[in-house]
Amino acid sequence: MSDRGSGTSALRTAQLAQVVLPPVVFGVLFFGAWELLVAAFDIKPYFLVPPSDILGRFLDNFDLIWAAMRVSGANALIGLLVGAILGVAMSFVLLRFRVLDEIVTPLSIALNAVPIFVLVAVFNNMFAITSEVPRRLMVTLVVYFVVLVNVARGLRQVDATHVELMKSYAASDWTVLRLVRVPNAIPYFFTALKIAAPLAVITAFVSEYFGGSQNGLGNKITSNLATSKKAEGWAYVGGACLLGLAFYLFAVVLEMVVTPRGAGDRAERGRSGA
């Protein structure tokens, strides 16, 4: 038994290495090539700064970058949570009222294809100039539609055999919702969340380009680049990357905690098996 245990753990390590190694090698080569290129051709800092410079500035200015990350991150997080809650709530309402569904769903799908974050310019006019509300509202809206479209689909597209089976048990609509539709929608919810989480971060700092307080990552990137502090600007870009990754990881980890057996995998099997 212990033999088999250590055997599988060795296998795990090998599998892990297989997954982790290629991107790490690629990253090291990429940044190495960048560094060498800048040095070899004596590229001027106003055109391209070497990664070592960026890392230096990132560490030097970490407090400032962290403060900006917290501003943009808070906007993204609040928008993500409110948008997800509203999206889930609305998908239940749509399930209940078919007519509403026929109106809202095509609209939602269409809106998903449009860069609606430009609406933040409109929202900025509605609130005080220093308010974070327009940005949060924008993130909420973007997340809301992604979650709504996916969860509504998950609640509706249930296996026909499951529905017949529940009917044969004389189950009420409420029971079908609780035992069939909601569990069926959970993988759809996490698919939506994995799309929406990084999108929330992107929306949060793109929103900053449309005015308001000069305190977020988006503001800092533009202001530093504009004043020729290229390496600082890049350092903030690095902060933005970290924030986006953190949000995506949050969604992935949440999915693993809630559905330990791999919900996405399960949904695919469910569908192909049917």
Partner 1 sequence: MSTTSGAGSNATASAGTAPNAVEIAGLRKVFNANKANAVEALVDVDLTIAPGEFVSLIGPSGCGKSTLLRLIANLLDPTSGTVLVNGKPAAQARQDQDYGMAFQQSGLFEWRSVVRNIELPLELKGWGKAERRARAHEMLELVKLGDFAGHMPWQLSGGMQQRVAIARALAAHPPLLLMDEPFGALDEMTREHMQAELLQICARTSTTVVFVTHSIPEAVYLSNRVVVMSPRPGRITEIIDVDLGSDRDEDTREATEFYGRITAVREALRGIEMGAGPRGIEDR
Q: Which residues bind partner 1 (CB under 8 A)?
A: 159, 161-162, 164-165, 167-171, 175, 179-180, 183-184, 186, 261, 266, 269-270, 273-274
Quote the CA–CA distance of 97 and 107 in Å, as a whole number. Answer: 16
Query: Which residue, 207, 215, 212, is CA-closest to 236?
Result: 215
Alpha-carbon distances of 189 from 99, 153, 213, 262, rounded to whole Å: 23, 10, 33, 13
What is the token pair recorded at 187?
Answer: 């993988």
Q: What share of the chain is helix, strand, coil (3-state, %, to 5)?
A: 85, 0, 15
Pick 40 or 160: Cβ nearer partner 1: 160
Pick 155 or 231: Cβ nearer partner 1: 155
Q: Which long-range contacts (CB under 8 A, 24 or more apart) does 30-38 make?
A: none
Pick 4 or 261: Cβ nearer partner 1: 261
Pick 46 or 174: Cβ nearer partner 1: 174
Query: Which residue, 30, 11, 150, 16, is CA-closest to 91?
Result: 150
Pick 120 or 192: Cβ nearer partner 1: 192
- For residue 42, the 8-state DSSP code is T
Pick 175 or 214: Cβ nearer partner 1: 175
Amino acid at 121: A
Quote the CA–CA distance of 260 and 243 in Å, as a whole number. Answer: 25
Pick 123 or 189: Cβ nearer partner 1: 189
Other Cβ atoms less than 10 A from the Cβ of 134: the count is 23
Quote the CA–CA distance of 159 and 247 in Å, as a whole number. Answer: 32
| Residue pair 231/54 in contact by the 8 Å Cβ criterion | yes
Pick 67 or 179: Cβ nearer partner 1: 179
* Cα angle 38, 39, 41; round to 5: 70
